[in-house]
Amino acid sequence: MSDGDAYVPTEVTTVADQQTQGNEKRPEHSLEIPLEQETTNVPGSRMAATVPISRRHTLNLEDYFAGPRDMSKHSKWPLFLQMHGSILPKMIVPLIWMGLWSTFITLIHEKVHKIGVNSILLTVLGFVVSTGLSFRGSTAYERYAEGRRFFASLVTSSQALGRVFWIHAKPLPDVDMRKQMLYKISAMNLVVAFSVALKHSLRFEPYTSYADIEHLVGHLDTFAKSATATMPVNGGVGKHSLFKSVGDYLGLSFAASNPRKLIKRAEKPVGNLPLEIINHLAVTIDNLIARGQLPVPMQQTTAYNNLAALNDAYTGCHRVLTTPLPIAYGILFQQITWLYVIMLPFQMVAVLDYITIPATTVASYIILGLLFIGQEIENPFGHDVNDLPLDSYCEQIAADMDIIASHSSFQSDDFFFHPENTPLYPISNASADAWLDRSEAKLKETIKSKPRKMFEWSRWRGDQIGDEENVKSD
């Protein structure tokens, strides 16, 4: 799948089907019912839920060469033998072409007329090509790394907002605690919804019926929800033909589809879902402050600053997405690189004879590989294997929100004076409660002597390790 190519589900839940299902008693979410088996419940939704890409227990080429890469997987194959993430599939056609071209030039040189040229062109043109490829690769990786930095800041800001909503927000005495807990959880879900909406926005997927976001924003009145209710089946995009699928894997430009096709075929304005979610978060913070649940000014500042950081991450990611290398540079790098490899047989045939054919193919693999890698990572937000694993980042944010909310209300005394807390370990195994039974002078003396005793212990430990090593060497 090409960079930024929007995901198009292949199964469809139509409005009529949903009306039929609505008359039946549907089971609620439970541990016995896998979430991925449940149908969409957004009114008017006409797109099936997305299915997370997985290579587990599958040998399908479509799964193997699709991405982004699952960082939790570990391959025991040597790196130079691994195909998952390799640029080789997209180089098959260019390498076949260069093999045929070098064969044609070699046969003419050997059978018809000597057409070899001086190899000085290898040195002159090689310097220009290497400089251009170096610039191309460095600018592409800079965009890749910048995209990662923006999502790292998104994770940090999401964690901070989660703490503001769940820990810093004070409970109201006259309001049902269950209502307050659900309010906080819903606010934290909006933080997760923003990250997921940003991911879909960067992939030009404008609707709200995807499985990972439908339950997070289905209750919000947004442009995307309105557009989802009236959109054509599968966004008006049909299944890919075999020709387009094969061409996509081989990197053929004339087989690539427009990544913005879902947006172009929308029947209603799709709006800006991440921005609308930020608006809802802003209202949420305003309400917490107005009700006096964030009484400390620094807490209010933290909330607004991290809300602004979410907006910065959104604008930064879209800046990376919409500011590619100027087209003039891209065209020039393509032209000079292809001109160089096309000239290789003329410069090698006089010396290598028929060995020119494999030599040209190998040289083309090295040179064109550097060019194609720059194209592969220039847009780091798509579905290719080498793109950033945005799904994993969003899952991390969702897991962080769950971890923050899993802690019930507590005070610092509850864990500082826990029986298992030994504040002066390793020079003392006494708990904090045990130290309360001792004198203040004894506590001060122990704290003051800790650096000296730790230094003596570290030296003793170093001598022990040295003695053990000497015993082993003897």
| Interval 383-404: pLDDT, tens | 888 889 999 999 999 999 999 9
What is the residue extent of each domain of the chain?
15-75+116-325+378-406, 418-473
Q: Is the pLDDT score of 67 beyond 90? A: no
Banded pLDDT at 54 (limits 50, 70, 90) = very low
What's the average model confidence in pLDDT over 55-75? Answer: 59
Q: Is the pLDDT score of 304 beyond 90? A: yes
Q: How far is residue 429's CA from residue 67's CA, in Å, rounded to a whole number? A: 51
Of all residues in the chain, the percent with pLDDT exceeding 90 is 47
Q: Is the pLDDT score of 116 beyond 80? A: yes
Q: Which residues make Cβ contacts (< 8 Å) with residue 242, sequence separation at least 6?
A: none
pLDDT of residue 2: 43
Residue 17 or 179, more confident = 179
pLDDT of residue 184: 95
Q: How far is residue 213's CA from residue 390's CA, in Å, rounded to a whole number? A: 14
> What DSSP state is assigned to residue 110?
I
| Interval 375-384: pLDDT, tens | 888 889 988 8
Count of other CB atoms within 10 angstroms of residue 282: 15
pLDDT of residue 89: 82
pLDDT of residue 90: 84
| Interval 414-434: pLDDT, tens | 888 888 999 998 888 899 989
What's the average model confidence in pLDDT over 60-66? Answer: 58
> What DSSP state is assigned to residue 429?
-
Average pLDDT, the chain: 81
What Å distances lie between residue 212 and 36, 45, 101, 148, 373, CA to CA?
10, 14, 48, 21, 30
**Site of tokens 């589809």:** 257
pLDDT of residue 222: 92
Q: Whole-prediction pTM value?
A: 0.79
CB 277 within 8 A of CB 217: yes
pLDDT of residue 21: 44
pLDDT of residue 85: 73
